[in-house]
Amino acid sequence: MQTIRRTITTLAGASFAAFVLIACGGGEAPPVDTNDDPGVLSVAIAGLPDGVDGNVNVSGAGGFADTLTASETFLVPAGTYAISAASITHEGVPYAASVSSAAVTVPSGGVGASTVTYAAGDAAPGTLQVNVGGLPDGADADVQVTRSGGFQASLTATSTLSDVEPGTYAVSAQDVTVGDDVYGASVSGSPATVPTGGTATATVTYTFLDPTTVGTLQVDIGGLAGPANVTITGPGGFTESITQTTTLSDLIPGNYIVSATNVTEGSTTFAPIIDGSPALVLPEETTTVDVTYVQFAANDGDAASNPGLFVQFRATSPGPVWVEGARFNAGARIDTKGIQYRNELSRPGDPSDWLDFRLVHGQSPTTSIKVDLECSINESPSPVRVQIRDSSGNKVGNSTSCGGSRTISVPNVGGSGIYLVGIETFGIDPFYASYVLSIDAYCFQGCTFEPFDP
CATH of range 126-208; options 1.10.150, 2.40.160, 3.40.50, 2.60.40 = 2.60.40
CATH of range 309-451; options 3.40.50.720, 3.40.462.20, 1.20.140.10, 2.60.120.380 = 2.60.120.380
Q: Looking at residue 30, what is its pLDDT? A: 39
pTM here is 0.74
In order, the DSSP letters of 230-257 are EEEEEGGGEEEEESS-EEEEEEPSEEEE
Write the single-letter amino acid at 98: S
CATH 2.60.40 is right for the domain spanning 215-296 = yes
Q: Looking at residue 445, what is its pLDDT? A: 87
Ranges of CATH 2.60.40.10 domains, the chain: 39-120
d(CA 123, CA 94): 8
Residues in the chain where the model's pLDDT stays below 50: 1-34
Give phi and psi for 162, each to the nearest 5: -95, 160
Model pLDDT for residues 404-419, shown as the tens digit of each residue = 999 988 888 788 999 9
Q: Looking at residue 293, what is its pLDDT? A: 95
Name the CATH superfamily housing domain 39-120.
Immunoglobulins (2.60.40.10)
Count Cβ atoms below 10 Å from residue 36 Cβ, excluding itself.
16
Q: Looking at residue 36, what is its pLDDT? A: 66
In order, the DSSP letters of 31-82 are P---SSPPEEEEEEEESSPTT----EEEEETTTEEEEESS-EEEEE-SEEEE
Cα distance between the two ends of the chain:
36
Q: Looking at residue 11, what is its pLDDT? A: 31
d(CA 149, CA 5): 63
Contact between 419 and 391 under an 8 Å Cβ cutoff? The reply is: yes
Ranges of CATH 2.60.120.380 domains, the chain: 309-451
Nearby residues of 153 by Cβ (< 8 Å), 6 or more positions away: 144, 145, 146, 159, 161
Contact between 388 and 398 under an 8 Å Cβ cutoff? The reply is: no
Where do runs of H (alpha helix) occur along 154-229? none
d(CA 344, CA 295): 10
